[in-house]
Amino acid sequence: SDSHFPVPISPSQFDLTLHYPHYFPSPDKSDGSKKIEFADIGCGFGGLLISLSTLFPDKLMIGMELRDKVTEYVKERVLALRTSNPGQYENVSVVRTNSMKYIPNYFEKGQLTKMFFLFPDPHFKEKNHRRRVISPHLLDEYAYVLRVGGIIYTITDVEELGEWMTSCLDGHPLFEAVSEDELVADPVVKLLSTATEEGQKVERNDGQTFRAVYRRIGSCVPH
């Protein structure tokens, strides 16, 4: 249960020295200017983060994962990569948490520039839709922690869930769909279906995927 993992009471209490010792050798040596910018929600085994780490070597990124064993696996994976590639993978880490409850405990308003929801659990039954990681209510929280211009990336192999995520995002006043031209130009988009363990499974089975990529916009958009 939640009592088994610590949750910071506010983003300033989130101890980055444990996660990124290369950037934060000790709490007093940090000037607070370097912040986590990417969050992979329900990161699973961490494949996306590992790919993003070298693609964006200057950005700090974190996976949020509910399962204890899976989180430990990702931690070990990152530590092993740091050891075998000195100087690399220092910008990536993982935390065990319930992202549906605690996002604002980890990130300040407007802190994130990218959020990822890749192959989230579908929760098919109507009464379980409130457990979905994309919902109108949770989008309010994601809009809060995302900077204006920041991007939310979602992908699923479950058509109904894809439609649900798209309709939640379409219905939210602080998100707008990213244009097809921009999607083609964005190197991150290719990784959505290829970099994660779940995405690779779907590709192996020639499964269809449904993507929704939206930008955080300001509340007063000039027309």
Element spanning 41, H or E: strand 36-41
Is 196 annotated as contributing to ligand binding?
A: yes
Calpha distance 77→207 (Å, rounded): 27
Q: Decide if residue 100 touches ligand SAM (CB under 6 A).
A: yes
Scanning 9-17, 63-71, 135-143, 144-152 for contacts with ligand SAM by CB under 6 A, the matching segment is 63-71
Scanning 22-30, 36-44, 164-172, 210-218 for contacts with ligand SAM by CB under 6 A, the matching segment is 36-44
Q: Which residues inside 202-221 make contact with ligand SAM, applying CB under 6 A?
A: none
Among 64, 92, 158, 165, binds ligand SAM (CB under 6 A): 64
Q: How far is CA 150 from CA 13, 65, 170, in A?
A: 24, 21, 16
Shortest reach from residue 127's CB to ligand SAM, in Å: 17
How, if at all, do strands 146-156 and 60-65 pair?
unpaired
Calpha distance 85→77 (Å, rounded): 12
Active-site annotation holds for 121: yes
Among 17, 88, 98, 105, binds ligand SAM (CB under 6 A): 98
DSSP 3-state of 47? helix
Rank residues 24 and 51 by Cβ distance to ligand SAM and give the closer one: 51
Shortest reach from residue 34's CB to ligand SAM, in Å: 24
x/- letters, 2..31, toward ligand SAM (CB under 6 A)? ------------------------------
Q: Which residues inside 108-127 make contact with ligand SAM, applying CB under 6 A?
A: 118-121
Tell me which residue has tokens 């097809």.
Answer: 180
Interhelix angle 197-204/187-194, rounded to 10 degrees, is 70
List CB contacts of 188: < 8 A, sequence separation 6 or more: 52, 55, 114, 151, 153
The residue ranges that bind ligand SAM (CB under 6 A) are 42-44, 64-67, 70, 98-100, 118-121, 196-199
